[in-house]
Amino acid sequence: MFTLNNKIAVITGGGSGIGRAISQLFARQGAAVHIIDLDQQSAADTVTEIKAGGGTASFHPCDISKQADVKKVFESLHGLDILVNNAGIANIGKADTTKEEDFDKVVAVNIKGAYNCIHCAIPELRKKKGGIILNMASVAALSGIPDRFAYSTSKGAILAMTMSVAKDYIHENIRCNSVSPARVHTPFVDGFLSKNYPGKEAEMFEKLSKTQPIGRMAKPEEVAALALYLCSDEASFITGCDYPIDGGFVKLNN
């Protein structure tokens, strides 16, 4: 079950965190993985690890906010079966404290970047007479999170984008779903804590962990496992759905 043999998968932001876990798992399950990332070192390291384990992977440096660059990457592929829109950036601030340039950057990467990849992927998926698009949303789109105005806005757009794509391409055998994680323990979290709470990293890590009713953050591998299911043939009856993976954050927080 859940094999991806002979599948070609593009994973944006696949060099680190959740994207890295997805890239590694998809490769282990038989997919040829193409990582799109701006961080060339982390992406190269992930590709090296995948190849060392007997998998197939390559890295494409690309700014997903630029459609012409994205188009070149997709046109260079020898087919496409799966697109995982995972790349994204965060921003701290409320509506009145978020700077215009920061808001624009979040929109450019999180919203326009996902659109650019979907726009360029659809013609390639059509050639295969179907395929899968999986978007990385967030509990920030489902529940209010303090000081995450721009990020929450962008992830709300991802949810709407997912439903729109699922509706528009259902008769072309193209499925589109999204995943909404709560906090996941990635290098980004560690960097965020060291930058914003020097000397109090452990204390703040514990505090953030306990915002999930289950009492901890998710592991990137747990999100990757859900992504694998949704991109596998076993999920062929699922489209237009969002899957919270949140340790009870949305439903159990009172």
Q: Which of 52, 49, 19 is nearest to 35 (CA)?
A: 19
Q: Which of 9, 144, 142 is nearest to 86 (CA)?
A: 9
Question: How many Å from the N-terminal Cα to the C-terminal Cα in the chain?
Answer: 38
User: Residue 56 and residue 74: Cα distance in Å, rounded?
Assistant: 17
The helices-and-strands tally (H runs, E runs) of the chain is 10, 7
* 3 state DSSP class of 195: helix
User: Residue 157 and residue 110: Cα distance in Å, rounded?
Assistant: 9
| Contact status, residue 61 vs residue 12, Cβ threshold 8 Å | no
Kindly tell me the burial class for residue 87, based on how many C-beta atoms sit within 10 Å of its own C-beta (0-12, 13-18, 19 or more): buried
Supply the residues annotated as catalytic.
151
Taken in order 118, 146, 189, 150, the sign of the CA dihedral is: positive
Helices (H), the chain: 17-28, 40-52, 67-76, 100-106, 113-127, 149-169, 187-196, 201-209, 220-230, 249-252
Residue 149, token pair as written in the block:
């105005």
